[in-house]
């Protein structure tokens, strides 16, 4: 029988979070395994639009992370030896009515209170300077943030994975974790379909599958997922400058039947126009597209950008994105087993993935964290559920 491989850290999930964590640990000489049930970047990280988001961060900590990451993103192509096609080309949120204006003015005020000043409400003329193809007659104002932008999320994720590999990480692709061997509250081995591997520490970066994975160690966390859909056109001459996110998405008016629909768009480095997004509740890990949702997206995009009417859509897709019960990130150790660390639920992860990888490295080396993420421990849910059980008795 062949000897079992042994690792200091095993990361489960080859999306942008898992690959960034693998890179940051391997770079410091940690013996790392990265296990992915499909191909690297085959789930949400390959389905997203690549917006590097600052404006609609869910808390001051991830906003600060996104701000600090700007310097990192500018250098990351060089560091990872792959062009991540990062363009700090600005982000715009078109506003069509007073309700959106009120909600988005509060969001801008909140960013200012959290110390981020490079964001403001602008008039339609200024919005049109950012996006000349936008029909300014359709809007009353816009949120503008010059520091937002877009990148290629597939190059970013694969770049982290390959850089981890160059630094000695072993990657187990098309290899699903199907169980764990646990002794004395510690995971000793991870069970894959064809073999078992030994490990000192397990990091769950399993995205939408987090709850299912954690259930395998006897723990239940209130982590859910939703399905986001998008599509892309064949390449056209440059017409969209930065990242555009529909203001309607910040109000109840975006709910149509059981979907949330709004116009988000950007133009990739190769010229395709990426259009999104219709979002529905996740169910049975279904990633079928719903032409109804995307047809509404297309109509909404055309209402703002009539010049896009002859786009040739060549591909549509969808992806599953995890979120926790309180919509805040989950980042920290479980208490039983004690050597499992959970990372998920960071909204708009692409722009902050490197910071997440670096924070895990800091935890591993007990360096103290660059950010106070103590509020995001998964134990907040476990304590709550055991308190409920006690109360029931």
- Kindly list the residues in this chain that would bind ligand FAD in the complex (CB under 6 A): 12-18, 35-38, 42-45, 47-51, 53, 176-177, 205-209, 213, 228, 230, 276-277, 319, 321, 344, 348-351
CB nearer to ligand FAD: pick between 334 and 350: 350
CB of 329 to ligand FAD, least distance (A): 10
Task: Provide the H-helix boundaries in the chain.
Answer: 16-27, 44-47, 60-80, 98-113, 124-130, 153-166, 210-215, 291-304, 353-364, 379-392
CB of 323 to ligand FAD, least distance (A): 9
What is the Cα 99 distance to its own chain's centre? 27
User: Sign (positive/negative) of CA torsion 320, 324, 325, 328?
Assistant: negative
CB nearer to ligand FAD: pick between 127 and 207: 207
CB of 13 to ligand FAD, least distance (A): 3
CB nearer to ligand FAD: pick between 17 and 334: 17
Coil, strand or helix: which one is 156? helix
Helix then strand then coil, in percent of the chain rounded to 5, is 35, 25, 35
CB of 245 to ligand FAD, least distance (A): 9
CB nearer to ligand FAD: pick between 136 and 144: 144
CB nearer to ligand FAD: pick between 123 and 255: 255
Beta strand 149-150 with 170-172: parallel, antiparallel or unpaired? unpaired
* Number of helices and strands in the chain (H, E): 10, 19
Contacts of residues 306-314 at CB distance under 8 Å and 24 or more positions apart, as own/partner, are: 306/135, 307/133, 307/239, 308/133, 308/239, 308/273, 311/233, 311/234, 311/236, 311/273, 312/233, 312/234, 313/231, 313/232, 313/233, 313/275, 314/232, 314/233, 314/234, 314/272
CB of 21 to ligand FAD, least distance (A): 9
CB of 205 to ligand FAD, least distance (A): 5
CB nearer to ligand FAD: pick between 123 and 270: 270
Taking the C-alpha atoms of residue 33 and residue 164, their distance in angstroms, rounded to an integer, is 10
CB of 349 to ligand FAD, least distance (A): 3
CB of 230 to ligand FAD, least distance (A): 4
CB nearer to ligand FAD: pick between 18 and 136: 18
User: Sign (positive/negative) of CA torsion 85, 91, 96, 100?
Assistant: positive
Taking the C-alpha atoms of residue 215 and residue 196, their distance in angstroms, rounded to an integer, is 19
CB nearer to ligand FAD: pick between 14 and 90: 14
What single DSSP character describes residue 42?
Answer: -
CB nearer to ligand FAD: pick between 15 and 94: 15
Closest CA to 149 of 92, 80, 192: 92
Which residue's Cβ has the minimum distance to ligand FAD? Answer: 15
Neighbours of 217 (CB within 10 A): 17
CB of 321 to ligand FAD, least distance (A): 5
């Amino acid at each position: 029988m062949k000897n079992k491989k042994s690792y200091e850290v095993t990361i489960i999930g080859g999306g942008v979070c898992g690959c960034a964590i693998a890179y940051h640990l391997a770079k410091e000489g940690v013996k790392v395994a990265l296990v992915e049930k499909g191909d690297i970047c085959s789930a949400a990280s390959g389905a997203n639009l690549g917006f590097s988001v600052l404006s609609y961060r869910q808390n001051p900590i991830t906003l600060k992370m996104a701000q600090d990451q700007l310097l990192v993103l500018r250098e990351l192509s060089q560091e990872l030896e792959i062009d991540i096609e990062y363009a700090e080309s600005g982000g715009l949120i078109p506003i069509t009515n007073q309700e959106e204006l009120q909600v988005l003015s509060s969001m801008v005020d909140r960013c200012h209170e959290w110390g981020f000043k490079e964001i403001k409400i602008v008039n339609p003329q200024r919005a049109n300077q950012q996006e000349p193809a936008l029909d300014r007659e359709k809007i009353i104002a816009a949120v503008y943030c010059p520091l937002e932008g877009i990148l290629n999320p597939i190059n970013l994720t694969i770049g982290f994975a390959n850089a981890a590999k160059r630094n000695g990480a072993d990657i187990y692709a098309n290899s699903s974790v199907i169980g764990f061997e646990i002794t004395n509250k510690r995971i000793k081995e991870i069970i894959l379909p064809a073999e078992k591997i030994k490990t000192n520490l397990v990091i769950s970066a399993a995205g939408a599958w987090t709850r299912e994975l954690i259930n395998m160690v006897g723990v239940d966390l209130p982590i859910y997922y939703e399905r986001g859909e998008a599509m892309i056109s064949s390449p056209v001459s440059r017409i969209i400058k930065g990242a555009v996110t529909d203001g309607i998405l910040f109000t109840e008016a975006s709910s149509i039947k059981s979907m949330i629909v709004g116009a988000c768009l950007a133009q990739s480095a190769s010229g395709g126009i990426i259009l999104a997004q219709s979002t529905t509740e996740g169910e049975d890990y279904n990633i079928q597209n719903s032409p109804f949702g995307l047809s509404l997206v297309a109509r909404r995009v055309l209402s703002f950008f009539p010049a896009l009417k002859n786009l040739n859509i060549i591909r549509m897709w969808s992806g599953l994105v995890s979120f926790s019960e309180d919509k805040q990130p989950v980042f920290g150790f479980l208490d039983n087993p004690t050597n499992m660390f959970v990372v998920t639920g960071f909204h708009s992860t692409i722009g902050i993935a490197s910071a997440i990888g670096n924070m895990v490295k800091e935890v591993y080396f007990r360096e103290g964290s660059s950010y106070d993420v103590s509020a995001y421990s998964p134990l907040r849910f476990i304590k709550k559920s055991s308190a409920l059980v006690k109360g029931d008795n």
